[in-house]
Structure 1
């Protein structure tokens, strides 16, 4: 399970070093092979990258392929997630090179945040992450599943 938030840096070539704790989990689960793709969120303020262990990506892709082709939102979701999906492997130093298209999509620059989400990780531009944290989102409706949630 991937949890926690990690402040990391990206070098001029587009490489990031995955934090040791996360790297160990990825090595254990998928031998350091990951799939990085675009978050299909339509709101530019929430654009980030999703990082899946390769061992989980096959099932995610199968579910996406089952979405209806005549629904505009389903097509957009498939195009973004499958179309941007890039298989990568951590090098011996725990680094990975992010493709320019994904860096541009998520607005990634030097300072980044790697955020655990249970079965996956999210990779955010640090500034965008801070703006998201400050947005209370009062105009959104609370999902029924959250009404009975006890923490």
Structure 2
């Protein structure tokens, strides 16, 4: 389970240190892929395999399915954190997410997300006020 917000730095070699709280779950390896909203998703291998099976089962006759499959699978990189909990983010994934030195890693329960710090702040500014309204759509009658 991934929870919380962390602010690691991306070094000159494209390495990012994972939050200590995430390292045990990701120790066996992880998959980094393009996420929605121009962030990166970080999944355990097991969670990514489950997602990949669902995505791969979409009909090839659907153009939207083919576009999604191509972007997801071609944009995925398998990583093993080093002894210090660092991963290397490929130049293509850094470009996609607009990553600079200052990053934000957030927990999104089933995955972690890596954001450029300025992009995350813009996203928060745009969506923070709709959080209460979204609860009715996502969890009607539960809270």
TM-score (norm 2): 0.88
Report the RMSD for the aligned CA atoms in angstroms: 2.0
Which structure shows the bigger proportion of residues in helix conformation?
A: 2
| Cα distance change on mapping 1:97 and 1:70 into 2, 3 Å | same
Question: What stretches of structure 2 of length at least 5 have no aligned partner?
Answer: none
- What displacement does 1:6 show? 0.7
- What displacement does 1:111 show? 0.6
| Cα distance change on mapping 1:143 and 1:81 into 2, 3 Å | farther
Q: Any idea what the Cα deviations from partners look like across 1:71-106, whole Å, max 9, x if unmatched?
A: 222222111111111110000111111111111011
The list of structure 1 runs, each at least 4 consecutive aligned residues, that deviate by more than 4 angstroms after superposition, is 141-145
Q: Is the 8 A contact 2:40 2:115 kept in 1?
A: yes
* Count of residues paired in the alignment: 140
Partner of 2:84: 93
- What displacement does 1:147 show? 5.6
Q: Is the 8 A contact 2:30 2:45 kept in 1?
A: yes
Question: What stretches of structure 1 of length at least 5 have no aligned partner?
Answer: none
2:121 pairs, out of 90, 106, 130, with 130
